[in-house]
Amino acid sequence: MSPLLRSILSPEFGFAVLRVMTPLLFAALGVAISEMAGSINIALEGIMLVSAFTGVVVSAYTGSLVIALLAGLIAGIILAAMLGYFHLKLKADIILAAIALNMFASGITIFLTFIFAHDKGTTSSLRSLVFPDIHIPVIKSIPILGEILSGHNILTYGALLAVALYYIIIFKTPLGLRIRAVGQNPDAAESVGIDVNRIKLYALLLSGFFGAFGGLYLAMGYVSWFARDMTAGRGFIAIAITTLGGYLPIGTFLASLLFGTVNALAIYIASLQIPSEFVSLIPYLVTVIVLAVYSVQARRKKARKPTKAKEAV
Amino acid sequence: MEKILEVKGILKIYPNGVIANKDVSVDIEKNTIHAIVGENGAGKTTLMKVIFGITQPQEGEVFYKGEKINLKSPHDAIEIGIGMVHQHLMLAPDLTTAENMVLGIEPLRGKIFLNIDKAFEVTKKVSQDYGFDIPIDKKIKDLPIGIRQRVEILKALFRNAELLILDEPTTFLTPQEIDVLFNTLKDLKNHGKTIIFISHKLKEVKQIADRITVMSDAKIVTTKEASELTEHDIAYLMVGRDISFERISPPEKMGKPLLSVQNISYINDENVKLLNNVSFDIRESEILGLAGVEGNGQSELIKIITGLLKASEGNIYIKGESIKGLSPRVIREMGIAHIPEDRMGYGVADKTSLEENFIVDRYYKSPFSKIFRLIWKYITNHSRKLIEQFKILTLSSKTTVSSLSGGNIQKVVVARELSSEHEILIAAQPTRGIDVGSEEHVHNLLKNTRDAGKAIFLISADLDEILKLSTRIIVIYNGEIVAEFTDVPKISGKYLGPYMLGVKKQEAAVG
Amino acid sequence: MDKFILKYFNLIRTIIAVAIGITISVFIIYVMSETPGLTLRTFLLGPFLSKSRVANIIESASPVIFCGLAIAVAFQAEQFNIGAEGALFIGATVGTAFAVSTHLPIFIHIPLTLLVAGIVGACWSFIPGILKAKWEASELISSLMLNYVAYFLGLYLINYHFRDKGAGYLVSYKLPETAWLNQFIGGTRIHWGIILSLTFAFLVYYFLYHTTLGYEIRTTGFNLRFAKFGGINVFKIIILSQVISGFIAGLGGMTEVMGIHRRFNWQLSPGYGWDGIVVAIIGRNHPLLIIVASLFLSYLSIGGQVLNLLTDIPSEIIVVIQSIIILLITAEAFLSQWKYRITVREAAKKEVAYEPTS
């Protein structure tokens, strides 16, 4: 067995998958919930950035993880609210507005990084707190499984819980029902007196909520500092993930797992004599390929219908 | 008899100047099924919008259970017990029946959670109360149209509707489903509900209604007990008014067939047969009118002839050449011009100038362009000529189309199509929604085109227009040609009505 | 006055958006800086205070113009291909590879290198184009992802095959002088690339507004169904608009290598593709307005650099200004009430002179 294969089949690999999946999963849930309400949100990139930055700075200055968490969440939600305001109230194209907000987030975080940390690259001069790792008592002692599942950052478990939370919001609350109705047929929702724009705004705010966790994890779990543009396109990959996952909780989870695996693989094959550039581009290339394959499939399905109709005559 | 709803003296004029309701007064008696019939554009839908609070009239009053009401929105209407079942159902396709039912008034569990059990329970209860047999845990998209409609009706009942408005409810139903619907409606009447039923289909109206109101030309023609009217009476009242226009003189002589449609059938993605074996010819100097209530396959037929849609079966010939598999451009080059029914969707790009709209079918030809270069000087001159010739009211040829009035936008489309090199003109709803002056103008243009030896296929929901212009008329119903009239001057709306409305059918109706 | 406002409404609106963006940044600087007066003067006037800085504005506008044009062609066809950054990067790396490995006379070497870079960029953008036209895959996502792929692929190419190991950091071999775009104003780095970018702006303007293909692109963007109805092959247009976009971006990236650095030296993706989106939006996708917008943006970013150098405020402040400007420009309802009131007032004036038709 080759060393690479051996290391991929090791529990550490499973552990790594969950680790790199965490921010993707949060971002994907953010994309999914706004998509459920019928608006495409490509601003997750920006949402994660402002949350990551805010979390680091607030934790460094207050020394309180809870306050940092709250501040990070608020920052992400504010950015989402700005998207909602410009798109829903000022009728900006949601894609262009989101591109602008991503730029805004990137610019303002670098700007403030310099102000606070006197460095344009990272906040490593600040002493950021990190979210703790958790060892799960019983599972910890199970061989292999314990090594994969236990000892993660609390936010990794948070991501798994977020899937459940997403499920509950969407399928078990009146708001979720309304979000789904607005996404599927806004006229129908409006005809029973639902304020469509308000529901869309709520969905965007929740999108900010989930995304903010993703950002916090990146800066205060994955590493312990903020770095410029540290999201590295995860907010965009999340869109491909949700497309693949059909915006549903389990689908989004499985698709995130898939992309997490690809990312982890990329890290692992770095040990081979493969140029690191190739390794780095894998997640993005895979995203394009997945998107293409998915679209071809979806198109085929659509094209099959009329043929069947013809045969029926 | 107690009146649940009284409508008095409604006047509704839309911003574009179209008078949709004029002095409309009607009483709806409690616990009856009241049908409102009329042609497209007769004003039925506007009246319903007024009653349901979607639009507000300029004049007139509405009384509900004896009290004057002032509805600002459909929500207000629902509050006081008026429900509406739209032709296009207002349901979320991926939600279950029960979820759709409680949407907006969701039962809760523990203050925050959706109590889905309760939703099922109340849905079950209300469906049992009214004897509806519907699956409550299935997604709407998995249910047949007939059942979906019952969900929509039940939705209104669940919101305590006492007066139910159904807008063309049978359009997408099979005959069996229609029977079920009618039984349902009768049941509801027995439960004490009142129903307003809007329809074109006279057979159905006769079958179900207690009272019938006929509308025509934005006014109420009559309201009578159903038993006092036969189908033919209704058809006559709807379309048989005195002809208030002069028919254009018939062509001196007609030449050889230019367009030949042979055995065209079309089945859509949902496996519904929208066109069934349609055949006809149109000859030089002939205007063939296609009469029919909208939604009977006209749109698909037009798209197939112009290459925007592929027929499932059959073939079309332009001057003897088949157009099978050809692109819209090639078909245009073979001699077709097309005034589309969806003016804003297909007829213009409204965010750009008149000039650019005038050349969409010819920009690549000389002298509009040379090799690859657009000759703007020529295009501008060309546009100015068209603006003048077709009396388009605009500041300049560089004005954006969207700043023009509806009538002038239509003239832009007509000007382009008539100025194209064509021998066959497909004119779909050529005067819809435009003012009387423009209408007259377009009619004259069509006549001149015909006199120039061209073949015209005129598709219109406006029967007067068909009668005024056509050399020959065919009638479409449910995707089939059900009648043909060659002696147009002798016929009037009352002859066509029964065919358009599916009451009658000629045995050998072929082109 | 009303008439004037209506006629130039879009321009006025853009200017107001720009003014608001700058006002907000002035406010931020005021709050953040310890020497606000100096900082503001440095930021707003700094770019004009020396010949080399004015030259800097012009130099750095060049790649932005190229990318703005690239984005505009795709946007005019209503294709959300924002892959100019990737096309530029991959075009510039492959172009560099070509230039350093060939020996040709100057009058062939320059055009051929530019052409290679352009074609590579075009092929790159063909991918989202075909995916969209044939299978309706979102060109937004695919072009975005391909930006990253282009970045790493380009770096690989330079790092493993054309790296100048003599240099202390990751750069390519120096281009042979036959592939240089010369600098033609003494004491500045203004090179023929800027002339080329201006030429391209006029070419693209001519192409979009004076050729049949340009007409097809714009008409497809205005109303796809109308274009189909008129017989335009929209399948072709969806792909072609993106391919042309990629070509312009790829070529533009190469001019920067040939004119300024004379070797490939981008460690990070330079961000011109994103600036391209900004100027395309500010310039409303019009090639000639894009020149103006690029110069403006370039002025801002030089202001930002000077700021960085001389004061306590980092240059990223300009990214914040840009994003605020774009947000306001794309917000349809921004100032729409104002316009509406003026329109009504104008219409009321006309009404008097107008006879109703029915």
Question: When comparing pLDDT for B253 and C153, which is higher?
Answer: C153
In a domain, A313, yes or no: no
Which of B334, B342, B346 to probe the C interface (max C CBs under 10 A)? Answer: B346
Mean pLDDT of chain B: 89
pLDDT tens, residue by residue, B358-417? 999 999 999 999 999 999 999 999 999 999 998 898 888 999 998 887 788 999 999 999
Interface of C with A in 245-274 (CB under 8 A): 274
CB contact under 8 A, A173 and B86: no
Domain assignment present for C96: yes
Measured between alpha carbons, how far is C179 from C100 in angstroms, rounded to an integer? 8
Mutating which of C18, C330, C336 best tests the A interface, going by the most A Cβ atoms within 10 A? Answer: C330
Q: What angle do CA B183, B185, B190 make, to 5 degrees?
A: 95
CB contact under 8 A, B363 and C212: yes
What is the least distance, in Å, from the CA of B180 to any CA of chain C? 39
Report whether A23 contacts A214 (CB < 8 A): yes
CATH number, domain at A83? 1.10.3470
B83, β-bridge pairs = B164
Domain range for C239 is 61-294
Judged by CB atoms within 8 Å, which residues 219-258 of A form the interface with C? Answer: 232-233, 236-237, 239-240, 243
- pLDDT of A114 > 60? The answer is yes
The pLDDT score that the predictor gives to residue A312 is 31
DSSP class per residue in C273-312: HHHHHHHHHHTTT-HHHHHHHHHHHHHHHHHHHHHHHHSS
Q: Min CA distance, C180 vs chain B (Å)?
A: 33
Answer whether B361 sits within 8 Å of C226, measured CB to CB: no
Residue A266 scores a pLDDT above 80: yes
Distance separating alpha carbons of residues B10 and B213, to the nearest angstrom: 15
What sign results for the dihedral spanned by CA atoms B12, B15, B20, B22? positive
Nearest to A295 among C137, C146, C324 (CB): C137
In a domain, A312, yes or no: no
In total, the C-beta contacts within 8 angstroms joining chain B to chain C are 81
Chain B 246-285, CB below 8 Å of chain A: which residues? 265, 267-271, 273
Interface test with chain B among A168, A172, A191, by most B beta carbons within 10 Å: A191
Dihedral angle, C-alpha A244, A250, A255, A261, nearest 10 °: -170
Indicate if the pLDDT at residue B120 is higher than 60.
Answer: yes
Q: Which fold has domain B248-335+423-511?
A: Rossmann fold (3.40.50)
Q: How confident is the model at residue A311 (pLDDT cuts 50, 70, 90)?
A: very low
Going by C-alpha positions, the residue among C82, C141, C144 that lies closest to residue A241 is C141
A43 within a domain of the structure (yes/no):
yes
The label of the residue with tokens 């608009």 reads: C241
Instruction: Choose between C347 and B423: higher pLDDT.
Output: B423
Is residue C307 included in any domain, yes or no?
Answer: no
Q: What is the mean pLDDT of residues B70-87?
A: 90
Whether B437 contacts chain C with CB within 8 A = yes
Asked if residue A309 has pLDDT above 60, the reply is no
> 3-class SS at B113?
strand
Report the alpha-carbon distance of residue B482 to residue B509 in Å, rounded. Answer: 6
Instruction: Give pLDDT, residue B323.
Output: 94
* Distance in Å, alpha carbon of C62 to nearest chain B alpha carbon: 27
> Is residue B434 within 8 Å of B17, Cβ to Cβ?
no
Q: State the fold for domain B3-239.
A: Rossmann fold (3.40.50)
Q: Mean of the pLDDT values across residues B87-116?
A: 92
Between the alpha carbon of residue C135 and those of residues A33, A303, C82, C220, the distances in Å are 25, 11, 19, 18
- Touching subunits of A (3+ CB pairs, under 8 Å) are B, C
Q: Determine, for residues C334 and A120 on separate chains, whether the beta-carbon distance falls below 8 Å.
A: no
Chain B contacts of A172, Cβ < 8 Å? 113-114, 116
User: pLDDT tens digits, residue range B35-54?
Assistant: 998 877 788 888 999 999 88
Chain C: nearest CA to A35, how far in angstroms? Answer: 14
d(CA C283, CA B502): 57
Q: Report whether pLDDT(B509) > 60.
A: no
Residues whose CB falls within 8 Å of the CB of residue A135, separated by 6 or more in sequence, listed in order:
A150, A151
Tell if the CB–CB gap between C229 and B338 is shorter than 8 Å: yes
Q: How many beta carbons lie within 10 A of that of residue B114, not counting itself?
A: 22
Per-residue confidence (pLDDT) for residue B138, from 0 to 100 = 93
Which residue from C82, C318, C323 is facing A101, i.e. has the nearest CB? C323
- pLDDT higher than 80, residue A227: yes
Whose tokens are 């240089």? That residue is C180
CB A30 within 8 A of CB A238: yes
Summarize pLDDT for C87-131 with one digit per residue, the tens. 999 999 999 999 999 999 999 999 999 999 999 999 999 999 999
In order of B288, B426, B457, C249, the CA distances from B342 in angstroms are 20, 13, 16, 39
C141–A239 C-beta distance less than 8 A? yes
Mean pLDDT of C13-20: 92
Q: Between C273 and B17, where is the model more confident?
A: C273
Which chain A residues are within 8 Å of B165, Cβ to Cβ?
none
How large is the C-alpha radius of gyration of chain B? 25
Q: Which amino acid, one-letter code, is at C78? A: E
Helix, strand, coil share (%) of chain B residues, nearest 5? 35, 25, 40
Classify residue A34: in a domain, yes or no. yes
pLDDT at B244 over 80: no
Chain B interface, best mutation among C207, C223, C350, by max B CB count within 10 A: C223
pLDDT (tens digit per residue) in B329-342: 999 999 999 999 98
Subunit contact A277:C316, Cβ cutoff 8 A: no
Subunits touching B (CB < 8 Å, at least 3 pairs)?
Answer: A, C
Tens-place pLDDT, residues C34-50: 888 888 888 888 899 88
Instruction: Spell out the residues 6+ positions from residue A144 whose beta carbon is closer than 8 angstroms to its own.
Output: A11
The two tokens of residue B385 are 């000529």
Residue C248 three-state SS: helix
Structural domain contains residue C125: yes
| C184 within domain boundaries | yes
DSSP string over B319-373:
TTEE-TT--HHHHHHTTEEEE-S-IIIII--TTSBHHHHHTTTTTTSTTTEETTE
- Measured CA to CA, the distance from residue B397 to residue B390 in angstroms comes to 13
* Contact status, residue C334 vs residue C17, Cβ threshold 8 Å: yes
| Dihedral (CA of A49, A55, A60, A61) sign | positive
Mean pLDDT score of chain A: 90
Residue A94 lies in a domain: yes
With both helix axes pointing from N to C terminus, report the angle between A174-184 and A154-172 in degrees, rounded to the nearest 10. Answer: 70
Q: Which residue of B has its CA nearest to C231?
A: B329
Q: Show the tokens assigned to B82.
A: 């008026």
Average pLDDT over residues B266-280: 89
Residue C342 within any structural domain of the chain:
no
Q: What is the pLDDT of residue B177?
A: 81
What's residue B243's pLDDT? 58
Report for B217-221, B303-307, B485-489: range of highest mean pLDDT: B303-307
The pair of structure tokens assigned to B361 is 């079918």
Mean pLDDT, all residues of chain C: 90
> Considering only CA atoms, which of C56, C129, C51, C118 is closest in space to residue C87?
C118
Distance from CA of B175 to the nearest CA of A (A): 19
Of the candidates A10, A31, A16, A36, the one whose C-alpha atom is nearest the C-alpha of residue A208 is A31
Q: Residue A236 is nearest to which of C141, C274, C319, comparing CB atoms?
A: C141
Q: What is the pLDDT of residue A303?
A: 59
Do C326 and A96 lie within an 8 Å CB cutoff?
yes
- Round to whole Å and give the CA distance between B190 and B209: 14
- Total number of domains constituting chain A: 1
Instruction: Tell me whether strands B336-339 and B369-370 are parallel, antiparallel or unpaired.
Output: unpaired
Of the candidates A174, A191, A305, the beta carbon closest to that of B269 is on A305
User: A interface mutation test: which of B73, B88, B265, B271 has the most A CBs within 10 A?
Assistant: B271
Q: If you average pLDDT over residues A289-294, what whole number do you get? A: 91
Which B residues, 153 through 212, put their C-beta within 8 Å of a C-beta on chain A?
A: 155, 159
Closest CA to A199 of A212, A224, A174, A182: A182
Q: Is C147 left (phi over 0), alpha (psi -120 to 50) or beta?
A: alpha
Q: Which residue has the higher pLDDT, C225 or B489?
A: C225
B218-243 per-position pLDDT tens digit: 889 999 999 998 887 887 787 766 55
Model confidence pLDDT, tens digit, residues A175-214: 999 999 999 999 999 888 899 999 999 999 999 999 999 9
Residue A99: give the domain boundaries. Answer: 3-307
pTM for this model (two decimals): 0.87
Does B328 contact C213 at a Cβ distance shorter than 8 Å? Answer: no
Q: Sorting pLDDT into bands at 50, 70 and 90, what band is A307?
A: very low
- Residue extents of the structural domains in chain B: 3-239, 248-335+423-511, 344-420
Distance CA(B63)–CA(C42), nearest Å, equals 72
pLDDT band at C175 (very low <50, low <70, confident <90, very high): very high
Q: Is residue A17 assigned to a domain?
A: yes
Residue B432 is which amino acid? R
Is residue A20 within 8 A of residue A193, CB to CB? The reply is no
CB spacing of C148 vs A120 below 8 angstroms: no
Q: What is the helix, strand, coil percentage profile of chain A, to 5?
A: 75, 0, 20
